[in-house]
Amino acid sequence: MRTITLIPGDGIGVEVTNSVKRVVEATNVEIYWEIIDAGEKAFGATGEYMPQKLIDSIYKNKIAFKGPLTTPIGEGFRSINVALRKEFNTYANIRPVKNMPNIKTPFNNVDLVIIRENSEGLYTGIEHVVTHGVTEAIKVITRDASLKIAKHAFEYARFHNRKKVTAVHKANIMKITDGLFLESVREIASDYDDIEYEEIIVDNMAMQLVMYPEKYDVLVMPNLYGDIISDLAAGLVGGLGLIPSGNIGDDIAIFEAVHGSAPLIAGKNMANPIACILSSAMMLDYMNEKPAGDLIRKAVFTVLKEGKCLTNDIGGNASTDEITDAICNAIKKYI
């Protein structure tokens, strides 16, 4: 039995992570969940947003699953999520974006993966006041981190039988920083003759995605661009409530839904758990339990296709528990 650190999160976090526990249990993969709070709930109990107990648990267990956390405004961490990524050097953020049955959208044939460098860029948080009315932020791009994320992107493409990797950049303006990123990706691309490689400027990428999303496969990019482009891509297929995510390091991984904690509907049994459930499928893949991960994805797609049990945000009136029940029943049927 594998022990995994579970961070329920704030707002709807407890509800959607409870759905994850139920769905994973339905696959018959045995997991012991070591539950530890972070965020607002942890601060209320311990005075810390990211308690040492949590850090120790993740270092010990090597895999964590987290619900949405509320980031404090104007105090503490710039972002608890960023703090977790820095602490455990989960340098690669992976977000698969794909059309799903019965989700109305003007975009068809979307099936792409965004691979975002997670450790540097403007997200290092190095900023200061130069003088009154003048501030400065420092964008850090290193060769080592760029080579690492590029290799991750090409290895991901090869393992998942993807045909093309697109590097997203702004090297026409930021010739030194984004220039180094591109130079590094090109170096890695030269070792993968079986995978098509192209480059595109980030503003053009935003336009191309809302015109011809079907043209793209694996996208690799620095931190800030990845943050923006991945949310844009989520909008193509129905929003953040459907998008899974994993933060991958050398030997530690943290899986999460990328949506917020939605405090206005917390405790009302209304939240859509699909993003969290699909993130748990990514976690099972990482654990070498891919058949179970595939089973979850198949069950989710079955429930969406049937259209009888959908939450309010995707056109139905089912509760969190009801859609979770439906997915669990589909899993048991396929088993």
pLDDT higher for 317 or 75? 317
Q: Which two structure tokens, joined as six digits, stand for 33? A: 């969940």
Q: Determine the average pLDDT of the residues in 296-309.
A: 96
Question: What is the C-alpha end-to-end distance of the chain, expressed in Å?
Answer: 20
100 occurs within a structural domain? no
Q: Is the dihedral of CA 121, 122, 127, 130 positive or negative?
A: positive
279 & 329 share domain: yes
- CB count in 10 Å sphere of residue 140: 15
List CB contacts of 75: < 8 A, sequence separation 6 or more: none
149 & 205 share domain: yes
Q: What was the pLDDT predicted at 335?
A: 87
Rounded to whole angstroms, the Cα distance separating 160 from 145 reads 22
- CB count in 10 Å sphere of residue 88: 20
CATH number of domain containing 229: 3.40.718.10
147 occurs within a structural domain? yes
Domain extent, residue 228, equals 106-236
125 & 188 share domain: yes
24 occurs within a structural domain? yes
2 & 46 share domain: yes
Residue at which a domain ends, from 236, 265, 281: 236
At 241-288, the pLDDT tens digits run 999 999 999 999 999 988 989 999 999 999 999 999 999 999 999 999
Residue at which a domain ends, from 236, 269, 284: 236
The total number of structural domains in the chain stands at 2
Q: Which two structure tokens, joined as six digits, stand for 249? A: 């390091």
The β-bridge relationship of strands 2-7 and 63-66 is parallel
Residue 74 pLDDT > 70? no
Amino acid making up residue 311: T
Q: What was the pLDDT predicted at 76?
A: 53
153 & 213 share domain: yes
At 172-203, the pLDDT tens digits run 999 999 999 999 999 999 999 999 999 999 99
174 occurs within a structural domain? yes
In this prediction, residue 82 has a pLDDT band, given cuts at 50, 70 and 90, of confident
> Do 141 and 120 contact (CB within 8 A), yes or no?
yes
228 & 248 share domain: no
Rounded to whole angstroms, the Cα distance separating 187 from 224 reads 22
63 & 141 share domain: no
Percent of the chain exceeding pLDDT 90 equals: 87
117 & 218 share domain: yes
121 & 204 share domain: yes
Q: What was the pLDDT predicted at 77?
A: 56
15 occurs within a structural domain? yes
- CB count in 10 Å sphere of residue 195: 18
Residue at which a domain ends, from 206, 236, 266: 236
**Helices H, strands E: what count in the chain?**
11, 12
101 occurs within a structural domain? no
218 & 254 share domain: no
255 & 232 share domain: no
In this prediction, residue 162 has a pLDDT band, given cuts at 50, 70 and 90, of very high
Q: What was the pLDDT predicted at 75?
A: 57
Residue 125 pLDDT > 90? no
Q: Determine the average pLDDT of the residues in 301-308.
A: 96
Q: How far is CA 25 from CA 90, 197, 222, 260, 296, in A?
A: 26, 40, 36, 25, 11
Least confident range from 102-106, 165-169, 198-202: namely: 102-106
256 occurs within a structural domain? yes
Q: What was the pLDDT predicted at 245?
A: 97
- Catalytic positions, written as ranges: 123, 170, 203, 227
- How wide is the angle at C-alpha 317 spanned by C-alphas 316 and 318, nearest 5°? 100
In this prediction, residue 150 has a pLDDT band, given cuts at 50, 70 and 90, of very high
111 & 222 share domain: yes
46 occurs within a structural domain? yes
